[in-house]
Amino acid sequence: MIKLEPATMTKAIERAKAIRPRVRVIDADARIYSVTGSRGDAYTVRFAVANGLKLAECDCRAGKAGMMCFHVAAAAQVNVMTQSMLRQTASAPVAPLAPRIVRRIERGHNGAKIVAVYCDGWAI
């Protein structure tokens, strides 16, 4: 397992930004991701929390040696987004959003000022 620490992650994040690997969500609840490497090879990254420590696991050579790799860094960013989306979905209100009414002054075809009213982007 690799400990997720800002100090060790900075370089890996830089590499991930340069290489831009593709990250696929395999199981959002179990936090398992598939990251495509620089040569099109895919590695599996898993995240876990143990004793308050954020841990990651990658099945590439560096990851197996317990080193931080850019697969973990790339998947970590997707993991943060995915987990916050899961929380939002769980706590999302059931009621639909209220329609958005927008009034604005526009010029009519004859140059006269008119008040246009939009509801959710539709002129009414």
By rule CB under 5 A, what count of residues binds Zn ion?
6
The CA distances from residue 95 to 89, 92, 120, in Å, are 13, 9, 16
**Helix, strand or coil, per DSSP, at residue 89:** helix
Q: Which stretch binds Zn ion (CB under 5 A): 5-13, 46-54, 65-73, 88-96?
A: 65-73
DSSP summary character for residue 100 = P
Q: Which is nearer to Zn ion, 61 or 107 (CB)?
A: 61
Based on the shown chain and the rule CB under 5 A, indicate whether residue 74 belongs to the binding site for Zn ion: no
Q: What are phi and psi of 9, to 5 degrees?
A: -85, -25
Residue 53 C-beta: closest distance to Zn ion, Å? 19
Based on the shown chain and the rule CB under 5 A, indicate whether residue 58 belongs to the binding site for Zn ion: yes
Q: Which residue in the set 4, 16, 56, 60 belongs to the binding site for Zn ion (CB under 5 A)?
A: 60
d(CA 84, CA 25): 14
Based on the shown chain and the rule CB under 5 A, indicate whether residue 69 belongs to the binding site for Zn ion: yes
Residue 33 near residue 24, CB atoms below 8 Å? yes
Q: Which residues bind Zn ion (CB under 5 A)?
A: 43, 58, 60, 63, 69, 71
